[in-house]
């Protein structure tokens, strides 16, 4: 497998970004490029990213997750693309696991690993019981997936209008476009559960932004040729 670009979209992630980037730096198969997209943060996110050797920092006004992914993708120079949320961490063998999966399947477009969840240690004990980590499972998530750059182009770029749910929207389009996925049963991603994260926010789990992505998927099924 050739070079890998890692794209980390970040918004007010100063508390967790350092650990996230450390997990990228600790890979047994090193990343070839690390891009942090600061999506209009008002905390020290940009300063933390800029202080990590080898990280390329992009800054933009706050436009949401989809726009940040799109900006990072436009700047990426490598033939393989990986994404990681600024509050999650990779297992040390994440990229190595994906590399083995690609080596075993010559026509593969995207490798998908498993993920596990953990409650952030900073969450007070009185609140920690609110978060119930799910059992480890297949990670149909951006942070558990490694893709060929050309596969991203084939399925179309992320919808920047979707502040949340753009990955769900892209995955639906990718499957319809014939992008070839292969799952490897190795935990590659650890998702952090804490107040305010995209993955745990009740507003984002069931809110209008996520529903918007689902509605786009339904519309494509009703419209032949889309």
Global pTM?
0.87
- Report residue 224's pLDDT band, with 50, 70 and 90 as the boundaries: low
User: Which residue, among 86, 103, 94, 85, has the nearest Cα to 141 in the 3D structure?
Assistant: 85
Which pLDDT belongs to residue 206?
A: 45
Which pLDDT belongs to residue 203?
A: 40
Which pLDDT belongs to residue 222?
A: 59
Domain 4-222: which CATH class? alpha beta
Which pLDDT belongs to residue 5?
A: 98
- The average confidence (pLDDT) of the chain is 88
**Do 78 and 2 meet the contact criterion of CB atoms below 8 Å apart?**
yes
């Amino acid at each position: 497998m050739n070079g890998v670009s890692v794209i980390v979209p970040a918004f007010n992630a100063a508390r967790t970004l350092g650990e996230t980037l450390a997990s990228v730096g600790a890979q047994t198969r090193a990343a070839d490029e690390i891009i942090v997209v600061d999506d209009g943060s008002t905390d020290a996110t940009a300063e933390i990213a800029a202080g990590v050797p080898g990280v390329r920092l992009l800054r933009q006004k706050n436009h949401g997750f989809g726009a940040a992914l799109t900006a990072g993708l436009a700047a990426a120079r490598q033939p393989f693309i990986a994404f990681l949320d600024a509050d999650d961490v990779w297992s040390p063998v994440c990229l190595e696991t994906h590399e083995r999966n690609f080596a075993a399947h010559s026509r593969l477009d995207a490798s998908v690993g498993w993920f596990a969840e953990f409650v952030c240690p900073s969450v007070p004990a009185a609140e920690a019981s609110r978060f119930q980590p799910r059992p480890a499972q297949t990670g149909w998530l951006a942070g558990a997936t490694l893709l060929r750059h050309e596969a991203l182009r084939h399925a179309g770029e992320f919808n920047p209008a979707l502040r949340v749910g753009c990955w769900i929207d892209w995955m639906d389009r990718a499957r319809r476009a014939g992008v070839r996925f292969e799952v490897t049963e190795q935990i590659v991603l650890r998702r952090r559960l804490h107040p305010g994260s995209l993955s745990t926010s009740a507003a984002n789990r069931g809110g209008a932004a996520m529903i918007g992505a689902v509605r786009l998927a339904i519309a494509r099924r009703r419209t032949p040729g889309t």
